[in-house]
Amino acid sequence: MSPLAVEVWRGGAQGAFQSFEVPRHPSQTVLDVVTYIQRSLDATLAYRFACRVGMCGSCAMSVNGVPRWTCRTHVDKVARESKLVIGPLRNLPVIRDLVTDMRGFFDKWARAKGSFGGTQTRRDDFARVPPDSADRKQVDAGIECIGCGVCYSACDVVAWNPDYLGPAALNRAWTLVKDERDGATLERLRAVAGDAGCHACHTHMSCTERCPMRISPTAGIAGLKREVAKAALRGKL
Ligand code: SF4
Ligand code: SF4
Ligand code: FES
């Protein structure tokens, strides 16, 4: 196999791509390529990873312009004529090389009231939510988000409007709106109803196409739009 010609982003926002040549091997992942460069060619290359098995989401990068978990992306599937272009996730500030600053991303989860608002005390019995209830099924469809930022990086509306809450924070808000144990629904609907909230989504579906967990933030955002409209018609917002 001919070696891979790899372009890797170096530096911060004003950085540039640097070329490396990396040997190919069977079942090689994009994370293997980045790791080879850092261990064998340039120890100063900054990147993140942890689990290497698609559980933590920390290895997300842009590969040939598409946001992906690099540990779950095989070189054979994405290399074009033995070439790869690897950069940091789009829509997030670059700290250095392939490492982005996720603080703004998670601040938006807080802005979307993405934390559970409990109504029970420790003396109450466990809440029992039937697994086959309609709301529970909608929660289940969105609950496995691991906060990797792939959908956020894929979203053009975030690129146009950096204030937009984005697919992950809105998906989180949706799972809480549908959680019958939560008592902060109105507060949450107010938080997502503004100009930078669910109504800013253009339903491009890029988030849904790219989410490695097969979550559809687009569906959740559509649900939020419906719930916001219903609450507004009832004069509650
Ligand atoms: S919705 Fe999917 S792509 Fe977006 S942060 Fe969660 S797991 Fe990652
Ligand atoms: S569906 Fe909405 S949130 Fe998802 S990528 Fe498109 S504009 Fe962004
Ligand atoms: S290193 Fe954990 S998902 Fe890739």
Short-list 160, 158, 142, CA closest to 208: 142
Q: Please state at what angle helix 166-177 crosses helix 134-142, rounded to 10 degrees.
A: 150
d(C-alpha 113, C-alpha 198), whole Å? 13
State the distance from the centre of ligand 1 to the C-alpha of 29, rounded, in angstroms. 20
Q: What is the pLDDT of residues 175-196, one digit of tens each?
A: 999 999 999 999 999 999 999 9
Q: Which residues contact 1 (CB under 8 A, 6 or more apart)?
A: 24, 25
Report CA-CA distances (Å) from 193 to 45, 204, 228, 232. Answer: 41, 19, 6, 10
pLDDT at 108 over 90: yes
User: Cα(100) to centroid of ligand 3, in Å?
Assistant: 15
Percent of the chain at pLDDT exceeding 90: 97
Vertex 199, ends 194 and 200: CA angle to 5°?
Answer: 90
Q: Is 15 left (phi over 0), alpha (psi -120 to 50) or beta?
A: beta
pLDDT score recorded for residue 191 = 98
**For residues 70-86, average pLDDT:** 97
Nearest atom within ligand 3 for CA of residue 71: 4
What is the whole-number distance in angstroms between the Cα of residue 112 and the centre of ligand 3?
A: 26
Average pLDDT over residues 80-86: 95
Pocket probe for ligand 1: among 151, 155, 221, the residue whose CB has the most ligand atoms within 8 Å is: 151
Q: Which atom of ligand 1 is nearest to the CA of 146?
A: 7
Structure confidence by residue, pLDDT tens digits, 182-236: 999 999 999 999 999 999 999 989 999 999 999 999 999 999 999 999 999 999 9
pLDDT score of 25: 95
Which atom of ligand 2 is nearest to 217's Cα? 4
d(C-alpha 84, C-alpha 49), whole Å = 19
Give distance in angstroms: CA of 144 to centre of ligand 1: 8
Q: Is 234 exposed, middle or buried (0-12, 13-18, 19+ CB in 10 A)?
A: exposed
Whether residue 1 has pLDDT greater than 90: no
Residue 85: CB atoms within 10 A of its CB come to 16
The predicted structure's pLDDT at residue 37: 98
Q: Which amino acid is at 233?
A: L
* Residue 28 scores a pLDDT above 90: yes
**Among 24, 26, 63, 23, CA closest to 47:** 63
Name the residue of 203, 210, 215 whose CB sits within 8 Å of the most ligand 2 atoms, as the mutation to test its pocket.
Answer: 203
Q: Which residues pair with 61 in a beta bridge?
A: 68
Mean pLDDT across the chain: 97
**107 three-state secondary structure:** helix
Q: Please indicate whether residue 171, judged by its CB atom, sits closer than 6 Å to ligand 3.
A: no
Specify the pLDDT at position 129. 94
Residues 139-185: tens digit of each pLDDT: 999 999 999 999 999 999 999 999 999 999 999 999 999 999 999 99
* Distance between CA atoms of residues 49 and 66, nearest Å: 18
pLDDT in tens, 29-44: 999 999 999 999 999 9
